[in-house]
Structure formats: structure tokens, C-alpha cells
Amino acid sequence: MCTDKMNAMMQKEWFRHKKILVVGLGISGFESAMWLHSVGADVLVTDVQPLGEIRSAYLCELDMAGISVQAGMPLETVPDDTDMVVISPGVSPCMDALKAARKREIPVIGELELAFCVIDRPIIAVTGTNGKTTVTSLIGSLLDNAGISAFVGGNIGTPLIAYARGGKDADYLVAEVSSFQLETVHTFTPFISIILNISPDHLGRHGNFKTYVNTKLGIYKNQGPGQHIIINDEDESLKAVNIDSGAVVHRYGFMPDKMRHAFIDGHYVYASADGASEHLFSLERCRLLGRHNQENILAVVMCGLILGIGDHVIQKTIDEFRGLPNRLERVAEKDGIVFYNDSKATNIDSAIKAVLTLDPPIILIAGGRHKGADYGPLEKVSRGRVKMGIFLGEAGDMLTETFEGSIPAVKVNTMEEAVRRAYACASCGDTVLLSPACSSFDMFSDYVHRGRAFVEAVKKVLNG
Ligand code: ADP
């Protein structure tokens, strides 16, 4: 399976009575196991976490379906009689047991590849270091406004394989695709691929920036005639990319440029999907903040034009989208001090964008689990805009050392202490911004938990 252009029905048949090992029991592993079981595969699921750490609802459903689970030990070896291994995005394909399986010619694929092989619907796939969820959601709203049915999933929440299990029909699948997912695709071919930007992130998993960039660019490697690539050619890491593809390439960037299919001039988006007819969209009613979000809109507009969606529907989508929680979300205001929750800024570039977007003077709360990149560029853009840095978590000391000397900086131990310090030194007209530039896993279960802790601390501090 998955090696030639078999149709989705034949692909499903292939799995009957095959022995499939699913590695990782998060949402992707769970949905993969349930789908594989539904088409008659003999499924075994393994996870390094002990049973108590795994979601009990997954364990319960797998048990009811009669699917075996091995929990609490690392995968030492893949059994010889295994026909295929399906891994979750959180599982590195470089694990010794998986390397050994590949040597024995046991295919190792990810959930995204599995979904692509068995779902017979065109896919719009969105990747990039930042903005994926925003753009994926915007495209979901765009299709909805146009009366086109869509399943919106992937890294944004529900894995694509859940569509195969769901029984509902959709015209398109809109998929947020992470670099971890792209590590394990072979034949994955979207109808439209969108590459928003690439900046250093996840270097621990990918080893170096070059590998990370190449993994992201893998999104279009199988595309050809009749398919489309939308790429931000103003992005530092993308502008030099020479796309050798039979697919139609649509380049966009913020600054006006004749070579671009979409750009911004004043308050307007100028765009053309075919290079001939020009379309104009106003940004005056757009509620998303910042130049980076205007770039996101360019990608969405291009996607709409390729799909033949009417200008008024595209404009309505731009006007009505309210933004997502935990992304430059205005959460409180008191005494002329405004508080923003940007907890989803889990890397340096997204925090830089927040500092550049919001009105100075800014009191910046940042820190969390260090992901290997340099905080120097964040300190540089903060000069003259950030009046104080308040840092917490495992990266707290590193951030404090990077900032002090040019910007007052303190290290604190809790989110509440961070908000208390921020409020104490803020005056009317200041912005208090949580934009961590780090992942949340040192102190919180995820970025949503971190955002909630910030909002709760703000409420507590403001209410005395
Ligand atoms: P992702 O799904 O790629 O993590 P999100 O849409 O969830 O992206 O946004 C994550 C963070 O990145 C937020 O802080 C958001 O403000 C910021 N962001 C959104 N779009 C961009 C962009 N085009 N460039 C840089 N940062 C962005």
C-alpha cells in the first residue's frame, strides 16, 4: 500500500488482517488505531507512558474494540511479523527500533500519510513555523462562508484519519501540517500546499535548521500539474527557495512586487490567481493585529481565488474573523493598562511579531522550556519598545541574561508573581504582554493551560 496510485478503496482493503503496530497513544495514535481496526487490521498500540498517564477515554474505547495496548515501556523492537508501523507526530522516526524496522523493510509511516492514502478528497495543507492554526481556521471559515463543505483537522486538533472514520462527506480537507508530521510522509500530495514562513524552532527534534527547513518544504515534493503551491517569498528562509515543481507556484509577500501574486498596498490586498484578473480586498474591517496576520490573509486570499470563491465571500471572511484565543488576545484593561495573552507564541519569531505589533511601552512576560534558539533577536527588537522584561521558567535565567544591560529584566518563579510585578511597574498607556518565546511544558500542561494561568493571575491582581 501507499507505494503507487492505488485508489482509496483498494488501500482500505490492503489493511484487512494485516498486523499493524501503532506507536504513541495521543489523539493521532488513538484515531489511527480505531480506523485500522474498523477496516479489519490486527492492531497493537504501544506507548512509553504508563497507563495512568494515558487518557482513560482512549484506553476505554480501545479496550471495548478489543485492541491491545502495551504501555509504560519504550519500544525496544518491532515484532518480525509486523506489516506496517504507524507513528504519532510526537514519536521520532529516528528511534533505534524504527530504524531497525525500516532496515527489515517494514514500512514506517505517520498518521498523515495513512490518512492521505485512504481518503479520496482534495487536501489543502498549511505549514510554516507560525500562523498555521490561524490560516487553517481562516480557510475553514472561508469554505464555510462559500457553502463548500470541509473537514478542518490535522495538527490543529482532530487528525485527518478521523475523517475516514467519521462517515460524513466533505468537498475538501483543510489540514494544519507540522514539521513532525512531514517527517513521515512519502506519497502525501495536497491539492494546494501553503508555506507561510520558516524560522528556527524544534531544533532539538530536527537537529539543525537546514533539516527543519527541508522537512517543511517536503509538503510540496509530490505535487505536480493541476496542483498549487502558495508560498511567502518575502520570508527570509523562503525567498531563496528554488521550487522545482510541475505545480502552479503562487508567490505572495507583504510588499508590493510585480512578481508576486498577492501583496498589500495601504489598507488593501491586491491579488491575482492567474496573473491576469486583479482582485482587491479591504483590510479596514479586519480585526487581526499585525503585519504578520496581514501576510496570513494573503495566503488565505490566494487559496480562495484558486478555489474560485467569489470576492464578496473572501471579503466577508476577512471582515468577520475574530482571531483565536491565546494569540495576541486582548484579555483585560484597567487604568489605561492593556493586557494581552499570546501564550501560543512558543518560539522566538512569534514573540518578536507580538513585540513589533502591540503599542509600546510594553512589559514583556516570557520564558518557559528552552527550545535551543537564540534570544538575541528578541532582545534586539525589544529595545525602545519593551520597558521591562519579566522572565520565568527554565529559560528565565537565559532570557534575563540576554536582556539585562539594555532593558531592565527580572526573573520570577510563578505566573502570578510575573503579573504582579508587571502591574506594579505599569502606568497608563502601557501594554502587558505574555508572549513566552518558549514552550510551556516546564510549568504547564500546554499553552492553553499557561494562557489560562495568565488570565487568572491578571483577574486576581486587578481585583486586588
Ligand atoms: P501555529 O499553529 O503555527 O503555532 P498560530 O496561528 O497558532 O500558529 O499562532 C502562533 C503564534 O504565532 C501566535 O503568537 C501568533 O500571534 C503568531 N503568528 C501568527 N501568524 C504568524 C506569522 N505569519 N508569522 C509569525 N508569527 C505569527
What are the structural domains of the chain? 17-106 (3.40.50.720), 116-320 (3.40.1190.10), 329-462 (3.90.190.20)
What does DSSP say about strands 279-282 and 329-334: parallel, antiparallel, or unpaired?
Answer: unpaired
Q: Which residue has the cell 483577574?
A: 459
Distance 32 CA to ligand 1 centre (A): 28
- Helix then strand count (H, E) for the chain reads 17, 20
Is the beta carbon of 37 within 6 A of some atom in ligand 1?
no
Query: Do residues 115 and 176 lie in contact, with contact meaning Cβ atoms separated by under 8 Å?
Result: no
pLDDT in tens, 36-53: 999 999 999 999 999 999
Is the beta carbon of 329 within 6 A of some atom in ligand 1?
no
173: helix, strand or coil = strand
Looking at residue 108, what is its pLDDT? 96
Q: Which residues pair with 194 in a beta bridge?
A: 126, 230
If pLDDT is split at 50, 70 and 90, which confidence band does 464 have?
confident
Distance 436 CA to ligand 1 centre (A): 13
Question: What mean pLDDT comes out for the span 224-244?
Answer: 95
The grid coordinates listed for 426 are: 505599569
Distance 297 CA to ligand 1 centre (A): 12
- Which among 181, 298, 327, 433 is the best mutation to test ligand 1's pocket, defined by most ligand atoms within 8 Å of the CB? 327
Question: What mean pLDDT comes out for the span 392-421?
Answer: 98
Least confident stretch, 1-10, 80-89, 439-448: 1-10
331, amino acid identity: V
Query: Do residues 371 and 201 lie in contact, with contact meaning Cβ atoms separated by under 8 Å?
Result: yes
The grid coordinates listed for 251 are: 508567490
Is the beta carbon of 349 within 6 A of some atom in ligand 1?
yes
Q: Supply the residue whose CA is at minimum distance from atom 9 of ligand 1.
A: 131
Distance 435 CA to ligand 1 centre (A): 11
Q: Which residues contact 133 (CB under 8 A, 6 or more apart)?
A: 155, 156, 176, 324, 327, 344
Is the beta carbon of 353 within 6 A of some atom in ligand 1?
yes
**In what side-by-side order are the strands of the sheet with 268-271?**
150-154, 172-176, 123-127, 192-195, 228-232, 248-252, 262-265, 268-271, 279-282
Is the beta carbon of 130 within 6 A of some atom in ligand 1?
yes
- Which among 343, 352, 353 is the best mutation to test ligand 1's pocket, defined by most ligand atoms within 8 Å of the CB? 353
Q: How large a percentage of the chain has pLDDT more than 70?
A: 98
Question: What mean pLDDT comes out for the span 305-319?
Answer: 98
Residue 80 CA: distances (Å) to CA of 19, 83, 100: 10, 8, 11
Distance 130 CA to ligand 1 centre (A): 4
Distance 110 CA to ligand 1 centre (A): 24
Query: Could you tell me how far CA 258 lies from the centroid of its own chain?
Result: 30
Distance 197 CA to ligand 1 centre (A): 10
pTM: 0.95
CA-wise closest residue to 139 among 274, 278, 314, 293:
314
pLDDT in tens, 67-78: 999 999 999 999
* Nearest atom within ligand 1 for CA of residue 435: 14
- Which among 328, 340, 344 is the best mutation to test ligand 1's pocket, defined by most ligand atoms within 8 Å of the CB? 344
Q: What is the dihedral of CA 376, 445, 452, 420, to 10 degrees?
A: -60
If pLDDT is split at 50, 70 and 90, which confidence band does 277 have?
confident
Distance 390 CA to ligand 1 centre (A): 22
CA distance 180 to 314: 31
For all residues of the chain together, what is the average pLDDT?
Answer: 95
With a cut of 50, say whether residue 255 has pLDDT above it.
Answer: yes
Looking at residue 240, what is its pLDDT? 87
Looking at residue 5, what is its pLDDT? 46
pLDDT in tens, 90-112: 999 999 999 999 999 999 999 99
Distance 341 CA to ligand 1 centre (A): 13
With a cut of 90, say whether residue 202 has pLDDT above it.
Answer: no
With a cut of 80, say whether residue 207 has pLDDT above it.
Answer: no
* Nearest atom within ligand 1 for CA of residue 155: 2
With a cut of 90, say whether residue 204 has pLDDT above it.
Answer: no
Query: Could you tell me how far CA 264 lies from the centroid of its own chain?
Result: 24
Is the beta carbon of 342 within 6 A of some atom in ligand 1?
yes
* Nearest atom within ligand 1 for CA of residue 351: 14
Question: What is the secondary structure of 191-255 as a DSSP string?
Answer: SEEEE----S--HHHHSSHHHHHHHHHGGGTT--TT-EEEEETTSTTTTT-----SSEEEEE-SS
With a cut of 70, say whether residue 2 has pLDDT above it.
Answer: no
Is the beta carbon of 234 within 6 A of some atom in ligand 1?
no
pLDDT in tens, 357-384: 999 999 999 999 998 889 999 999 999 9
Q: Supply the residue whose CA is at minimum distance from atom 17 of ligand 1.
A: 350
Question: What mean pLDDT comes out for the span 272-296?
Answer: 94
* Nearest atom within ligand 1 for CA of residue 345: 14
Distance 353 CA to ligand 1 centre (A): 9
Q: Judge residue 245's burial from the number of C-beta atoms within 10 Å of its C-beta, 0-12 exposed, 13-18 middle, 19 or more buried.
A: middle
Cα four-point dihedral sign 204, 210, 213, 218: negative
Looking at residue 11, what is its pLDDT? 80
CA-wise closest residue to 36 among 184, 173, 183, 162:
162
Is the beta carbon of 132 within 6 A of some atom in ligand 1?
yes
Query: Do residues 461 and 423 lie in contact, with contact meaning Cβ atoms separated by under 8 Å?
Result: yes
The grid coordinates listed for 114 are: 495513512
Is the beta carbon of 328 within 6 A of some atom in ligand 1?
yes
If pLDDT is split at 50, 70 and 90, which confidence band does 6 have?
low
